[in-house]
Amino acid sequence: MELNKAARSVIAGLCLAAGTSHAQETGQVSVGLAYIGSDSIYSNVSFNPSVMPSFNYKSDTLAIGFQEGIAYKFMNEGAVKMSVAIIPRFRPYKSTDSADLSGMARDMYYDSALNTSYEISRGLSAQFKIGTELTNKFNGNFFDLSLSRFMPMMGQPLILKAGAKWYSSARANYFYGVNASEATGQRAEYAPQSVLLPYISVNKIYSLTPKTSLFANVNMSFLPTKVVNSPIIKGNTSVSTVLGLNYNF
């Protein structure tokens, strides 16, 4: 997987910042297991849940994990927080997942992102993330705008979130399109152009002991007509669930 020149510069800067941060502060490490289940949006792809190990390191300025990649917070000024990140992304599907995807190759890739968070009031925050793909798989851009509400429930944190993601045409085509070289008699060429995907999510954390906790996330995305009309897509919503157990050192 070849990284472009800009990607190498971003990674080098992040590693330097992360090394400096680690030398100056001590963070918290957590490990655990996570169950991941999602109904596939792709035609004739069956439900395929998995169990994966989880790892997270968090300090005041640095976060490392399977989901967030490596993120460095460079601004923490009152209500405003900003960070930069390199994020690993799993392939959206494999060509062997169903006959409808045969001959369509998609790979794992990496994104870079600039994250901004603004605390509107106690427990209510706005987040904005903008980024681009780094590994020259499709060179697509995205942004993610959301509102999140933190509230206690039975003495444990509950986070409600609603937002929308925008994908550039190159990014949307990688996920939902059919290239000319991939078209067949049963699968027409299709380019969805840029798309906007609204979503809602619920996050819950429940502490079992001072060092052990359960966590859960349910996310629902709503697919626009330009995505639903693709010959490789089924349905108009996508629901994913993550359940896990964490141990903090």
Task: Report the distance separating Cα 112 and Cα 69, nearest Å.
Answer: 10
Q: Measuring CA to CA, which residue among 50, 31, 74, 61 is closest to residue 211?
A: 31
pTM: 0.86
Task: Report the distance separating Cα 72 and Cα 80, nearest Å.
Answer: 15
Model confidence over 164-215: pLDDT tens digits? 999 999 999 999 999 999 999 999 999 999 999 999 999 999 999 999 999 9
Task: Report the distance separating Cα 70 and Cα 114, nearest Å.
Answer: 12
Cα of 42 vs its chain's centroid, Å: 18
Model confidence over 28-77: pLDDT tens digits? 999 999 999 988 999 999 887 889 998 899 999 999 998 779 999 999 99
What are the φ and ψ backbone dihedral angles of 159, each rounded to 5 degrees?
Answer: -120, 120
